[in-house]
Structure 1
Amino acid sequence: MAAELVRGQNHPLPGSRLEIRVSAGGPAVAGATLGDEAGRLREPGWIAHPGSPRLPGLEVSRQAAADHRIAVNLEALPKAVHRVSVLLVLPAGAGGPLSFGALAAPVVAVTGPDGAEVAGYTVTGLGAESAVVAVELYRRQGAWKVRAVGQGYAGGLAAMLEDQGLPRARETAAAVEEAVAPGAARAAAPPARTGGEGRGLPSAPAGGPSGAPGTAPETLPDTQPEAATALRPASAGPPAPPVPAASGPVDYHHPRRAPRATAGPPTSAESSAPAPPSVPSARSGTPDRPVAGDGPGWSMEERLYNQVWGMFEDLARTTAAYRGAVDFADSRMERELDEALADPRSRLGPGADAARARAGERRAELVDRARAALERDLAQLTAESEVVEPALPPAFARWDSPAWDVHRVPAQAPMAVRLGDLGLPEHSVLRIPMLVRLPLERGLWIDAGRTSSAASLTADPHRRRRLAGELATAVAGRLLAVHPAGGLTVHVLDPTGAAASALAPLTESGALREPPATGPQGVALVLAGLTRRVDLVQMAVRTRATDALPPDVDPAGQLLIVHDFPHGFDDRAVNRLRYLADEGPSAGVHLMMVADREEAREYGPVLDPLWRSLLRITPVPDDHLADPWVGHAWTYEPPLVPAGSPVLSRALGRVAEARRRHGR
């Protein structure tokens, strides 16, 4: 039985040869774009449209029409392709509707070579959008899946191509529209849209990608291979846009294993009521045991890094599926009650009580089914976490991991570092490592002030400040321990000397080249030296004379830790700090601030760009970070060293010994 998907849900594909049937509800152009591992559209040649209908492994319709068939051969796609996005665009100037809101909801069906339907999706909730990515086929751990996307663009094809990272997207969109214009002119006029078609979750207001999160939590950029922004691999393009909504069951199909058979989704028992978002039933048999290092990549480190981010995405989407199903169950119960009790005369008595009971039972049934699917997916993710966590290298591992017992100063810097853990309230035990790419493209702000989280509200202000200092030391110590000897130099500003106890592991181990700077003069001296270094490096890069830097310029990466900002800072020092936050990363100078924003309020909006330029983390658990796919507010847990553990002191002792051995 075919799976009826809701936005964000995915489903495994049974083979490589597929046909995608699209009913657009009126004349529309059907096409497809190819994406690399990061979902990025590299060049115009990766777009299939009526003017260029054939690409390797892909063929689309040759003109605008109400119905389309797209042929796909996944095995024939270029090896660099990891994603196929199926798109619908309303042709401009054809006398037809200007937005999908005037049409019936588009319907997409994915079928196998025998014509049997594999999955279907009704693209609901569209309004002012004139272009939409309906579904995407994507490769995950060697297996292909289909995902319901339903992401609309009021800016049309140009906005869609820009969002997929295509250079000169507007020029390409104009060329595509010109190529399809003759066929669009021959298209028949569309039927008018009627209310109530389709089902699913509503999209976000038009004006951009539908459902793009506009929430308060700071979004963690997608850091899958070759994705771009603040926490991404270095070889980059823009990240795939956030996809609002739900996910299907998590599939850990290993590329060297035979595929597992899956059962189709259960059908709704009530034929008269709208069907709920489909929740696939449990897979037959026992799921394959996850394998550590099952992500893409050339090295085990890269494969583990990508696998962790794959787990992060899976957990975000499967939780979104559960939340979407619960929301649907609530809305359906309200609708049923409204219909049953619309007549004021029927709101009391045994009949009303029975109607309420029936609506409540149906809601409970839907929620129980969704919870069962969530629990199944969580069990699979937990099993993967139990395999992956012990295999993580020190840079990725928790402080209590055995990896630190055998830690040695490496010969080269890692690709990423763990800056904490992320979790959601639906599954308080499962935690995903928060891995951040190195070198840091954004500085870090350890917020020592009060936040809205329960842990922050109940913590003593002095304890929060002490924990903030300990977190800064733990992060700096981890960075020193995972860099080669002499590969990272740490400078510490402690104007008031209040952080001496928190800094003890750094100062007592000998891992610091210079003791922490105190007082306004010490602050000014360190800031002047780092500002000069940034100026010299930038000048050398512009003139292509990087080998002509003065001998006193330290070639190692630089990390500046600022405690108790703004104490000890005058206006000149504040300006230098802002300069280092903006220009430092490009010259190998990175900033980590321990600060309470309220204590710097006298500077007003002058410092707003500084706070925005830094990635905020907290010394106590807080839900201020959002994922780049769904936009959940994740609970962040800081990577503090366990109380009484000597792991950090031992690691820093090895750093100091390696520096002495190498004369650095």
Structure 2
Amino acid sequence: MSELVPGQNLPVTATTVVFSVSGVIGEIDLVGLVVGPDLRASDSDGVVFYNQPRAAGVRLEGSRIIVEFGALAAGSTVLCALSGDADATLAPGLTAELQGAPDDSRYTFPLRPIHGETALLCFELYQRSGQWRVRALGQGYRGGLAALLTAHGVDVDDAPEVAPPPAADSPVGSQDPAGPQATESPQIAKSVPPATVALGSDYGAAVARAHVVFEDAARSAAGYVQAEAFAMDRLDRELGELLADPAQRNSPVADRARAAAQQRCDDLVASARSRFDADSAVLMAELAALDPQLPPAMASWASPVWNRAGSPSAGGLRLGELFAPERGELRLPFCVPTPIARPLWVLDAGEPVLSVVTSLVLRLVVAARVPFPGTRATSDGGRVLIDVFDLTGSLAPMTEMLFPLLTAPAITSPESVADRLSVLESSIDLTQMALQAGEIDDIDTRVVLIADLPFGWDVAAMARLLRIADRGSELGWAFVFAGPLDDNDSDPLVSTIADRTMVIPVTEEARAHDPWVGLPWSVSAERIDPAGVQARQIVATLSSHQPRSGVNPNA
């Protein structure tokens, strides 16, 4: 028997598993939900509960849900959940169980609903590299079954609104602590389209898998952190109880009790660390296998997909890596979906930003080589034009490397800023008119790089730049600002521009929190040497694949 902690996952060798819950007081209902890699249902037929007891590979029999892996559709994941009475919260003392056949394997997961939940996700059954695995979840919903189904893409009559993901300090197992109560018998209406999420539902199987690997890592880390915290809290409590009795405080009995308490703490932490290290090893192996399958803009610089950098690369943009040195060697790709919704600011916080900006610009050029939505697009899309404003010369090595892709020289003097801004404004006007008239097959897009703002920029030029960034972003243009940003700078235009950007700090102290359990991760920005062989080879590949365009924004 294997007892799981939240976030832990283990391989499943059985061909059939039976889901049940013990320790029940009162009425509960079991639910099976067949979802895709993005954890959302493709249609309402994938929900198994008391009003719909059967789906392909999953069926409800009395107080058990039976999952037959061989009968599931390819790529399916099964979520096992329970729902209580909408007017009463679930009580602690429940244990979710999976019984496997024919190997008689057994997995248990103690459930600890403590935030008024009326529905709980217990297990996730999913495939990784052809092997079925089980992961303990423990996520709760105060909105009951209706909230749980809605959160996974199923439209429910009179469904409550789904609360946002937990904040960084929210405990695991309370994903919907504030959601309104569900109706007693939710009626499934139809499947709804997936919500927009970072790296999840719309970018292909490899991208979806990378998203799930990140979630696996976050939950596995949360399990380890929780186990360590529990062990330390228990040790403090036991030592406190021993010290409370002055007569026994320094006795041999107390010494033995303290040693035993310390050993229990050490054993629990060691066991949790061993499970976490094993999970991390599996995840690192999967990331290594996924890297060659990701789009170039999301892959590592070591991936062979960069040999095909001239091909369209829809999906996302890799900004860096996430890691936690105190939790081991696992490093996860830090990606955002494309097109980028707002400008990026590579913040010079004491370290050179040249290699970071070079990495970002090359990846943006690759990621932008896709057709713009709403056009009669060819398979290659339009051109990707690059505009560089570098009045300080800090990015000169990158500009020189990008020369084969530049349609005009970089702006290096304040006198030339206004003319290039006019070109950008004219390009936006012409493109928007052509789109409204439906007269073009493809549109050109742009990557606009501005270094060391506001050096050399007057107020009028910065105001024009702000308008251009707002309008250009609607056309899929990418804007990158690079350089220091003084928090005490009183220039209102610089502050306005900075407030609208996503800041990428180039510093060892950069931190991010995952969206599932809120754990902190260190952020290391992607880098590539603009004078290196690889960067020049990528530029040569991109320039040789630059397609013809139906509209020239510089015309």
Quickly name the TM-score band, shorter chain normalised: 0.7 to 0.9
Report the equivalent of 1:489.
Answer: 385
The runs of 5 or more residues in structure 2 that have no matched partner are 162-170, 180-192, 370-379
Report the equivalent of 1:352.
Answer: 254
Report the equivalent of 2:227.
Answer: 325
Report the equivalent of 1:564.
Answer: 452
1:166 matched to 2:166: no
Cα drift, residue 321 of structure 1 = 3.1
Matched-pair contact (CA < 8 Å) for 1:409–1:485:
no
The verdict on how the C-alpha distance between 1:655 and 1:386 changes in structure 2, with shifts beyond 3 A counting, is: closer
CA distance in 2, matches of 1:399, 1:78: 35
CA distance in 2, matches of 1:78, 1:36: 10
The verdict on how the C-alpha distance between 1:25 and 1:446 changes in structure 2, with shifts beyond 3 A counting, is: farther
For 1:626, the aligned partner's letter is H
Matched-pair contact (CA < 8 Å) for 2:7–2:219:
yes
Report the equivalent of 1:41.
Answer: 41
Matched-pair contact (CA < 8 Å) for 1:559–1:590:
yes
Report the equivalent of 2:508.
Answer: 621
Report the equivalent of 1:157.
Answer: 145
Report the equivalent of 2:72.
Answer: 77
C-alpha distance after superposition, 1:42-77 (max 9, x if no partner): 443332232222223323367xxxxx3222223333
Cα drift, residue 12 of structure 1 = 2.6
Cα drift, residue 579 of structure 1 = 5.2
For 1:166, the aligned partner's letter is V
Report the equivalent of 2:190.
Answer: none
Cα drift, residue 89 of structure 1 = 3.4
Cα drift, residue 414 of structure 1 = 5.6
CA distance in 2, matches of 1:166, 1:125: 24
The verdict on how the C-alpha distance between 1:172 and 1:373 changes in structure 2, with shifts beyond 3 A counting, is: closer
Q: How does 1:19-38 map to 2 (within 5 A)?
A: 19-23=18-22, 24-38=24-38
1:6 matched to 2:5: yes
Cα drift, residue 425 of structure 1 = 0.8
Cα drift, residue 489 of structure 1 = 0.9
CA distance in 2, matches of 1:538, 1:15: 57
Q: How does 1:82-231 map to 2 (within 5 A)?
A: 82-92=77-87, 97=88, 99-100=89-90, 103-113=91-101, 116=104, 118-167=106-155, 169-171=156-158, 203-204=173-174, 207-208=177-178, 229=196, 231=198
Report the equivalent of 2:439.
Answer: 547
Equivalent residues, number: 517
Cα drift, residue 396 of structure 1 = 5.1
C-alpha distance after superposition, 1:157-200 (max 9, x if no partner): 34323322334x453679xxxxxxxxxxxxxxxxxxxxxxxxxx
| TM-score, normalised relative to structure 1 | 0.66
3-state DSSP class of the match of 1:555? Answer: coil
Matched-pair contact (CA < 8 Å) for 1:622–1:637:
no
Cα drift, residue 653 of structure 1 = 4.6
C-alpha distance after superposition, 1:466-498 (max 9, x if no partner): x2244223321344468579731111233x434
CA distance in 1, matches of 2:516, 2:248: 45
3-state DSSP class of the match of 2:394? Answer: coil
The verdict on how the C-alpha distance between 1:109 and 1:612 changes in structure 2, with shifts beyond 3 A counting, is: farther
Matched-pair contact (CA < 8 Å) for 2:96–2:110:
yes
C-alpha distance after superposition, 1:434-469 (max 9, x if no partner): 345444345422122x4xxxxxxxxxx4xx3xx224
Report the equivalent of 2:168.
Answer: none
3-state DSSP class of the match of 1:547? Answer: coil
Identity %: 29
Report the equivalent of 1:256.
Answer: none
Cα drift, residue 7 of structure 1 = 1.5
Cα drift, residue 659 of structure 1 = 5.3
Q: Which of these residues, 344, 347, 362, is aligned with residue 444 of structure 1?
A: 344
Report the equivalent of 2:266.
Answer: 364
3-state DSSP class of the match of 1:426? Answer: helix
Q: Which of these residues, 460, 463, 474, is aligned with residue 359 of structure 2?
A: 474
The verdict on how the C-alpha distance between 1:15 and 1:227 changes in structure 2, with shifts beyond 3 A counting, is: farther
Matched-pair contact (CA < 8 Å) for 1:481–1:651:
no
C-alpha distance after superposition, 1:340-382 (max 9, x if no partner): 3343433333333332222112212222223333444444455
Report the equivalent of 1:636.
Answer: 523
For 1:232, the aligned partner's letter is L
Cα drift, residue 119 of structure 1 = 0.7
| TM-score, normalised relative to structure 2 | 0.78
The verdict on how the C-alpha distance between 1:149 and 1:397 changes in structure 2, with shifts beyond 3 A counting, is: closer
1:421 matched to 2:321: yes
Matched-pair contact (CA < 8 Å) for 1:485–1:659:
no
1:235 matched to 2:127: no
CA distance in 1, matches of 2:389, 2:129: 45
CA distance in 1, matches of 2:98, 2:547: 63
For 2:332, the aligned partner's letter is I
For 2:243, the aligned partner's letter is L
Moved more, 127-136 or 381-390: 381-390
Matched-pair contact (CA < 8 Å) for 1:446–1:592:
yes
CA distance in 2, matches of 1:384, 1:136: 18
Cα drift, residue 20 of structure 1 = 1.2
Report the equivalent of 2:409.
Answer: 515
Report the equivalent of 1:254.
Answer: none
Cα drift, residue 634 of structure 1 = 2.1
Matched-pair contact (CA < 8 Å) for 2:343–2:480:
yes
For 1:592, the aligned partner's letter is V
3-state DSSP class of the match of 1:39? Answer: coil
The verdict on how the C-alpha distance between 1:50 and 1:444 changes in structure 2, with shifts beyond 3 A counting, is: same
CA distance in 1, matches of 2:222, 2:358: 36
For 2:199, the aligned partner's letter is R
Q: How does 1:271-290 map to 2 (within 5 A)?
A: none
CA distance in 2, matches of 1:140, 1:205: 25
CA distance in 2, matches of 1:517, 1:470: 20
Matched-pair contact (CA < 8 Å) for 1:397–1:418:
yes
CA distance in 1, matches of 2:503, 2:430: 29
Cα drift, residue 592 of structure 1 = 1.5
For 2:84, the aligned partner's letter is V
The verdict on how the C-alpha distance between 1:173 and 1:136 changes in structure 2, with shifts beyond 3 A counting, is: farther
CA distance in 2, matches of 1:540, 1:367: 63
The verdict on how the C-alpha distance between 1:531 and 1:428 changes in structure 2, with shifts beyond 3 A counting, is: farther
The verdict on how the C-alpha distance between 1:512 and 1:21 changes in structure 2, with shifts beyond 3 A counting, is: same
The verdict on how the C-alpha distance between 1:26 and 1:227 changes in structure 2, with shifts beyond 3 A counting, is: same
CA distance in 2, matches of 1:51, 1:121: 26
3-state DSSP class of the match of 1:51? Answer: coil
For 2:221, the aligned partner's letter is T
3-state DSSP class of the match of 1:618? Answer: strand
Cα drift, residue 646 of structure 1 = 3.8
For 2:122, the aligned partner's letter is A
